Structure formats: structure tokens, C-alpha cells
């Protein structure tokens, strides 16, 4: 056994080993892996951490200033008061232009007329310390903290946000990662953040656009309507914003929120900025009542919930127990210490009954193939944000970065110990190598199983989960149909001279790379991995897609329905159908290998209302057709306020003017992305 002291000495020796570059690279982070011990931790002896539910604000605790009503300086582009570093300083509000529809808006729950206001939450981003193992070092981490709880109580994963379908939410996020104001952090600099609610159908200003920052010491309001997009009218091939039916196939369920700040997403997420966001609806309660899934608020004999999120992160540490991060490792940060919900290789007591687990790959570069040590089948009821039409039983499932699976594990008949294991071999940040079910096993989590078998229905292959027609269990799943496809776009994700590219171009947050007609039909998007051996998990914001083919073949069964991520191995090509509904852009689509993303492997998608007479026949061709859909002349977007002029001026200004550069646009009623001012391309 290696003592902690020995490990520290060893770590210090390699830390000073710059003279031996190979040892330095491989040995900088503490090896833990299969046999070694991490700060003396005996694996599977500490309990699983289950994040608390974020407290809704009520009565006098409600947000002040109220969402959408912020004190401003006078003038056409009035800025908020000078930030003083507390949560009242909302420098980025929610835009009042959203929420006009009677059936969904900020102030009415469609199904519950008694509630006349959106649900409010306050989430603070702060640094705190965290023990990855009992008795281990206090590791500085970045956390989200319940705004009603004491400073310093932030956790990783952050509090779980529980929302209801069609019940709108305003989340106020206060960034206290400042260098020298409220909430000092130990990195010695102000850290900008941006929260993306991954898998949600939310307006652009609340989507965590990469440079719609929450600057240190400031706050931003995020508006999550918790809606599904609308059904496409088969006659006009248009999906309305107001009116029409919700496309119930796209009711969200398993979402997660995480940092998305441009240039620093990898650092922020690896240091802890992620959490679960779960949406419930009548169909899930119905499934619970029928025993298909566990009771939603149910607890087992140990007092633990029956519905548990499992965020998988492979961590990497310095010798002193601080988190290792290399800003200049452009391949991806591959860890060697496996954590679940922020603790190293935990154990969790379960009864011999069914549980619902939301598996999330929150890692930066690691891809998992998850299997139970018993090889027993697991019942997948959801993929990414959405429930499947029917349950699918698998012996293992793959999770690329950001992907989720909503899984029923039935412990009836299970032995006393069941491990969750990863059987995918991966040696560097580029991507996974292969599944090796016999040799390579990373043990992630141990279930300690006890008690007699429960009596309840089984989740089996084909068990009906969610049909298109809402509560009708026999309803059909709503596939995007080929005849709805009115445009095809191709995006090649590649590398050029050491820099990541999308269609041979570099990301510009002020230039649209796709301008779909909002709500019109469906589009075929082809994602191509240019090769070189890197995996690129491709993620779209605003809407998920339906994967038709990967390299000409159908995807795995559990990925044939709704997804928001498709994992592309080197040289692979995926064809997906997607509809861009409800909200105008800008949104990003990007590689979810966060180190690639930070190096700008992103594109901008800017769904735009149809021009002219909406009743005229839809013209599938036009200036955006085919390759020219990425025509710079027609697709540029600029804000209609004065940022561009300020950008020109600031180059000659002194230090301290940086905030002028940060986008203040979307979310300010006076400064929206102006669709009439296209054409700003720069080059």
C-alpha cells in the first residue's frame, strides 16, 4: 500500500521533473487507476453524494429587482447601475419580448391558472473547497450554490433544479468568482461564466451563449419556459410559436446545466460547474403510478431517493490535491481518477427493487461504455433530455461527453455487490479506442444491495414510455419526416494547422454559419468529422435532433430517437433531421469535447422568421441553398447597438475597459440582434 506521504513525495518528485519531460507528462497527475490509492482512499468506502434540490424562492425571498424590471441608467441603451458585486446587480436581464403566447408565458402556467408567476431560483457561482475522498486534501473547486443557503456551501454537482413542464422558471445567477470583491477565489483573477441549460428549448438570451457572460461580481437572469416546441402543420409545414399543439415527443426530462463561457469552459466545468435540471410532467407521474418507473418523490428504506442523478467525471489532480488543468492541452483533459457526483469511487446502498438513474457524462474528454458488473440488462427509458417511446434493454450503453441516459436498474435478484463499470479503453484526449469487455474495466460506483425482492412491474424491452399524443400510451412517436426536410446543411469538423475548424472557418460569435427559417419544416444536417483520430461529439442548442445514420448505418437503438449529441469518431459522418422552432438565434452548435470547444470549435445557428408573406409556397431553394447556405453575405449578424464601434475604440484604451467588449446585447430590450443589419463578416 502506498501511503499518502509517499504519494505526496512521489508527486512532488514528478512535479519537479521538468528535466524529464516524458515522466513529467505522464506522472504529473497522481496515478490512481486500477491498483493505486488516491490519498490513501480505499475505493468504494465513501457514500455517494446526492445533490440537494434547489430551493424555490417564495414570499419575501423573491428576486429583487424583479425579473424583467431592472433599474437602468437613462438613454437609448441604458446600462444597469454600476455593479457592486451582489446579486441585485443584474447586468443582464431577461428580455420582455418572450412570453407572448397565452399557452406559455412568464406569468401563467397553462395547466395551473392559480399560479400567476414564474418560479424563481437564485444560484450563486462561488469557489469553495471539496474533499474528493474522506480525510483527503481540501481541494479548491468551483461550485454552484443555492442562493438561500450560506456562503461557502456550494457543491459539485450543483443543486438539482426540479422544474415542471410548462411551468416557467427564472434563474438568477450571481457570479462571485471575483479576484478581490465579494467571493474571492484563489485563482487570483476574475472568472467569467455563462450557464447553458443543456438540452432545453429556451430563448437565445437565456441559453448561455459563449460570450453572453456573467462577469465576475455581476448577475444574469435566465428564463427557462420549460416548454416543448410546437407540432409542424402538415399543410403549411410551419411550426407556430403561439397556438397549435406542443410536440409532446420533445417534452424535456433529463437536462443539465453547466458553464459555457468562451475560452474557459474546460477549466470551469472540470473544476465543478455542472448540475442536474430535471423536468417532470403528468406522463411521468402516470408511469410512476403504474409502477413502470419508481415513485417520483419516493425514498427507499435507507432514506435515499429512488431517482438519482449520476454525473461521471474523470478527474486529474496535482500532487497536493488541487485539480490539474492544462490550458494548452488541445487534445482534451483525460483524467485518471474516476468520480461520481464529485466523489471518488463511491458506494451506494440500494434495496432489491427498481431505481431510476440519470447517467450523465460530465467529463471533458472521456467517453464511457457503461455496464453492470453482473452483465444484467439495464432498461433505458430516456436519451439525453427526452423519454423514449418504448423502453430499450441493453447490456451496455455509450456516453460521449454531455450525453445522458435515463436508466431503470432493477436490483431484484442481484448479488450483494453490483459495480457500475466503464469498459471503453481510452488512452489520450483524442477519443476512445475500443470496447474491451474482458480486459479493461474502470470501476466507477459500487451498489451495496440488500433486502428481499420487491413486488412491482418490470421495465422491459418495449414497455411504453412516452407516445407523441401526450397521455395516450399507444400514441406514435413523432419522427421528423423526410418530406418535411426543406434544406440540407453540411458541417465538417476538422483541424487546420493546429486550430479547430467548422467548414474550414473559425468561430465568430457575431457571424451566423446557418440561418434556418424559423419553424419551417425540418432540415437535414450532416456532421462530418474531418479525421485525424479525434472524436468530436456534436451538440446543437435550441433543439435536439433525430439521428438517421452514422456512416450510412442506423445509430444504436437507444440513439434512434431524440438526441442532442451525436458522437463522431474520427472520419465518421452523421446525418440528422432537426427542426428549428419557437426562438430566434443566435445559438451555437459545437464539439462538446470542451478543450476543442474552448479553442472555438463552434458554429453559430441563427433561426430567423420567414421573410415576406408567410402564406406563399415555401421555396426550398434560394440564397441559402446548398453550399451557399453558408453564404457570408446573407448570414452575418450584428447587434444594433454600439458594441462594434466600441470594439474599434477600445484597442487604444487603457487597461480596465474590457467590459465594453463583452456582449450586452441579447436580453436588453434596446439592443437585440437586428435581423435587418446582416453582412458583418469582418473577413
Residue with cell 423536468: 279
Cβ-based nearer residue to other proteins, 615 or 648: 648
Residue 300 binds other proteins (CB under 8 A): no
Pairwise CA distance, residues 117 & 545, whole Å: 31
Please pick, from the candidates 59, 74, 497, 553, the single residue that binds other proteins as defined by CB under 8 A: 497
Residue 535 binds other proteins (CB under 8 A): no
DSSP letter assigned to residue 80: B
Residue 244 binds other proteins (CB under 8 A): no
Cell, residue 470? 401526450
From the CB of residue 263, how many other CB atoms can be counted at a distance below 10 Å?
15
CB of 595 to other proteins, least distance (A): 9
Question: Quick one: which segment of 198-206, 218-226, 472-480, 651-659 binds other proteins (CB under 8 A)?
Answer: 651-659
Residue 96 binds other proteins (CB under 8 A): no
CB of 367 to other proteins, least distance (A): 16
Pairwise CA distance, residues 186 & 143, whole Å: 13
Q: How many CA atoms lie within 13 A of 530 on its CB side?
A: 15
Question: Quick one: which segment of 233-241, 458-466, 518-526, 598-606 binds other proteins (CB under 8 A)?
Answer: 598-606
Residue 129 binds other proteins (CB under 8 A): no
Report which of 191, 183, 179, 172 is spatially closest to residue 261, judged by C-alpha positions. 191
Please pick, from the candidates 34, 79, 189, 290, the single residue that binds other proteins as defined by CB under 8 A: 189
Please pick, from the candidates 318, 374, 454, 503, the single residue that binds other proteins as defined by CB under 8 A: 318
Cell, residue 81? 447601475
Residue 8: its H or E element: helix 4-15
Strand duo 254-259 + 195-198: pairing:
antiparallel
Cell, residue 368? 464511457
Residue 645 binds other proteins (CB under 8 A): no
Report which of 31, 53, 78, 37 is spatially closest to residue 664, judged by C-alpha positions. 78
Query: What's the order of all strands across the beta sheet hosting 587-591?
Result: 565-568, 536-540, 587-591, 602-605
CB of 21 to other proteins, least distance (A): 6
Strand duo 274-280 + 254-259: pairing:
antiparallel
Please pick, from the candidates 91, 139, 193, 501, the single residue that binds other proteins as defined by CB under 8 A: 501
Cβ-based nearer residue to other proteins, 155 or 268: 268
Question: Quick one: which segment of 199-207, 240-248, 479-487, 650-658 binds other proteins (CB under 8 A)?
Answer: 650-658
Site for other proteins in 412-431 (CB under 8 A): 428, 430
Site for other proteins in 618-637 (CB under 8 A): none
From the CB of residue 47, how many other CB atoms can be counted at a distance below 10 Å?
14
Residue 22 binds other proteins (CB under 8 A): no
Cβ-based nearer residue to other proteins, 323 or 568: 323
Asked whether the beta carbons of 219 and 172 are under 8 A apart, the reply is yes
Q: What would the 3-class secondary structure string for 236-290 be?
A: CCECCCCCCCECHHHCECEEEEEECCCCCHHHHHHCCCEEEEEEECHHHHHHHHC
User: CA dihedral defined by 61, 64, 68, 72, rounded to 10 degrees?
Assistant: 180
CB of 625 to other proteins, least distance (A): 25
CB of 20 to other proteins, least distance (A): 11
Question: Quick one: which segment of 32-40, 186-194, 231-239, 402-410 binds other proteins (CB under 8 A)?
Answer: 186-194
Q: 548-579 burial, b for 16+ CB within 10 Å, e for fewer?
A: bebeeeebeebbbbbbbbbbbbeebebbbbbb
Pairwise CA distance, residues 46 & 137, whole Å: 15
Strand duo 522-529 + 573-578: pairing:
antiparallel
Positive/negative CA dihedral, 233, 237, 243, 249:
positive
Question: Quick one: which segment of 225-233, 343-351, 543-551, 655-663 binds other proteins (CB under 8 A)?
Answer: 655-663
Please pick, from the candidates 647, 669, 674, 679, the single residue that binds other proteins as defined by CB under 8 A: 647
CB of 499 to other proteins, least distance (A): 4
Site string for other proteins, 262-281 (x = CB under 8 A): xxx-----------------
Residue 651 binds other proteins (CB under 8 A): yes
Please pick, from the candidates 506, 556, 618, 634, the single residue that binds other proteins as defined by CB under 8 A: 506
Please pick, from the candidates 62, 81, 117, 179, the single residue that binds other proteins as defined by CB under 8 A: 179
How many chain residues bind other proteins (CB under 8 A)? 58
CB of 322 to other proteins, least distance (A): 6
Please pick, from the candidates 326, 448, 456, 640, the single residue that binds other proteins as defined by CB under 8 A: 326
Cell, residue 181? 470583491
Distance of CA 157 to the CA centre of its chain: 12
**Which residues contact other proteins (rule: CB under 8 A)?**
15-16, 18, 21, 24, 179-180, 187-190, 192, 262-264, 318, 320, 322, 324, 326-331, 428, 430, 496-501, 506-511, 532-533, 598-600, 644, 647-648, 650-652, 655-658, 661-662, 682-683
Amino acid at each position: 500500500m502506498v501511503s499518502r506521504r509517499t504519494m505526496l513525495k512521489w508527486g512532488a518528485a514528478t512535479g519537479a521533473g521538468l528535466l524529464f519531460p516524458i515522466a513529467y507528462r505522464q506522472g504529473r497527475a497522481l496515478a490512481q487507476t486500477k491498483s493505486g490509492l488516491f490519498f490513501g482512499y480505499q475505493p468504494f468506502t465513501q457514500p455517494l453524494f446526492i445533490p440537494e434540490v434547489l430551493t424555490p424562492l417564495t414570499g419575501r425571498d423573491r428576486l429583487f429587482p424583479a425579473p424583467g424590471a431592472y433599474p437602468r441608467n437613462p438613454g437609448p441603451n441604458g446600462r444597469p447601475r454600476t455593479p457592486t458585486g451582489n446579486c441585485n446587480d443584474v447586468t443582464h436581464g431577461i428580455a420582455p419580448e418572450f412570453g407572448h403566447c397565452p399557452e406559455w408565458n412568464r406569468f401563467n402556467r397553462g395547466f395551473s391558472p392559480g399560479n400567476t408567476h414564474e418560479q424563481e431560483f437564485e444560484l450563486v457561482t462561488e469557489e469553495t473547497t471539496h474533499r474528493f475522498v474522506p480525510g483527503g486534501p481540501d481541494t479548491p473547486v468551483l461550485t454552484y450554490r443555492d442562493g438561500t443557503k450560506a456562503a461557502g456551501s456550494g457543491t459539485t454537482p450543483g443543486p438539482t433544479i426540479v422544474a415542471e413542464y410548462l411551468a416557467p422558471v427564472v434563474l438568477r445567477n450571481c457570479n462571485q468568482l471575483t479576484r478581490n470583491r465579494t467571493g474571492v477565489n484563489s485563482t487570483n483573477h476574475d472568472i467569467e461564466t455563462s450557464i447553458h441549460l443543456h438540452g432545453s428549448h429556451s430563448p437565445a438570451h437565456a441559453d448561455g451563449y459563449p460570450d453572453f457572460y456573467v462577469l465576475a461580481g455581476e448577475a444574469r437572469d435566465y428564463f427557462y419556459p420549460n416548454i416543448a416546441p410546437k407540432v409542424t402543420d402538415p399543410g403549411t409545414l410551419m411550426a407556430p410559436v403561439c397556438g397549435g399543439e406542443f410536440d409532446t415527443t420533445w417534452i424535456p426530462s433529463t437536462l443539465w446545466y453547466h458553464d459555457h463561457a468562451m475560452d474557459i469552459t474546460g477549466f470551469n466545468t472540470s473544476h465543478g460547474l455542472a448540475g442536474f435540471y430535471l423536468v417532470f410532467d403528468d406522463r411521468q407521474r402516470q408511469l410512476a403510478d403504474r409502477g413502470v418507473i419508481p415513485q417520483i418523490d419516493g425514498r427507499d428504506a435507507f432514506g435515499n431517493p429512488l431517482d438519482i442523478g449520476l454525473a461521471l467525471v474523470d478527474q486529474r489532480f496535482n500532487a497536493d490535491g488541487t485539480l490539474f488543468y492544462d490550458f494548452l492541452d488541445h487534445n482534451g483533459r483525460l483524467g485518471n481518477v474516476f468520480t461520481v457526483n464529485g466523489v471518488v469511487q463511491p458506494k451506494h446502498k440500494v434495496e432489491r427493487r427498481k431505481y431510476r438513474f440519470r447517467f450523465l457524462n460530465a467529463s471533458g474528454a472521456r467517453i464511457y461504455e457503461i455496464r453492470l458488473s453482473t452483465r444484467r440488462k439495464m432498461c433505458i427509458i430516456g436519451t439525453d433530455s427526452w423519454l423514449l417511446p418504448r423502453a430499450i434493454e441493453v447490456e451496455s450503453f455509450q456516453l460521449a461527453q454531455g450525453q445522458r441516459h435515463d436508466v431503470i436498474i432493477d436490483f431484484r435478484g442481484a448479488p450483494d455487490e453490483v459495480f457500475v463499470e466503464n469498459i471503453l479503453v481510452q488512452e489520450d484526449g483524442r477519443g476512445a479506442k475500443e470496447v474491451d469487455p474482458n480486459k479493461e474495466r474502470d470501476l466507477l460506483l459500487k451498489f451495496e444491495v440488500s433486502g428481499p425482492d420487491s413486488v412491482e412491474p418490470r421495465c422491459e424491452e418495449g414497455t411504453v414510455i412516452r407516445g407523441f399524443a401526450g397521455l395516450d400510451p399507444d400514441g406514435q412517436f413523432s419522427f421528423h419526416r423526410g418530406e418535411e426536410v426543406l434544406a440540407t446543411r453540411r458541417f465538417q469538423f476538422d483541424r487546420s494547422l493546429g486550430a479547430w475548424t467548422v467548414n474550414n472557418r473559425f468561430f465568430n460569435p457575431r457571424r451566423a454559419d446557418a440561418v434556418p427559417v424559423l419553424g419551417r419544416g425540418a432540415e437535414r444536417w450532416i456532421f462530418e468529422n474531418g479525421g485525424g483520430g479525434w472524436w468530436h461529439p456534436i451538440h446543437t442548442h435550441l433543439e435536439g435532433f433525430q439521428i438517421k445514420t452514422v456512416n450510412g448505418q442506423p445509430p444504436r437503438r437507444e440513439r434512434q430517437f431524440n438526441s442532442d449529441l451525436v458522437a463522431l469518431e474520427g472520419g465518421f459522418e452523421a446525418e440528422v433531421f432537426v427542426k428549428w422552432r419557437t426562438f430566434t438565434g443566435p445559438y451555437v452548435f459545437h464539439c462538446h469535447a470542451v478543450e476543442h470547444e474552448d479553442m472555438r470549435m463552434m458554429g453559430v445557428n441563427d433561426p430567423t422568421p420567414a421573410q415576406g408573406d408567410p402564406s406563399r409556397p415555401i421555396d426550398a431553394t434560394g440564397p441559402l441553398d446548398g453550399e451557399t447556405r453558408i453564404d457570408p453575405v446573407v448570414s452575418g449578424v450584428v447587434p444594433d447597438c454600439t458594441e462594434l464601434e466600441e470594439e474599434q475604440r477600445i484597442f487604444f484604451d487603457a487597461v480596465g475597459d474590457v467590459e465594453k467588449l463583452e456582449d450586452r446585447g441579447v436580453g436588453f430590450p434596446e439592443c437585440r440582434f437586428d435581423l435587418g443589419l446582416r453582412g458583418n463578416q469582418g473577413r
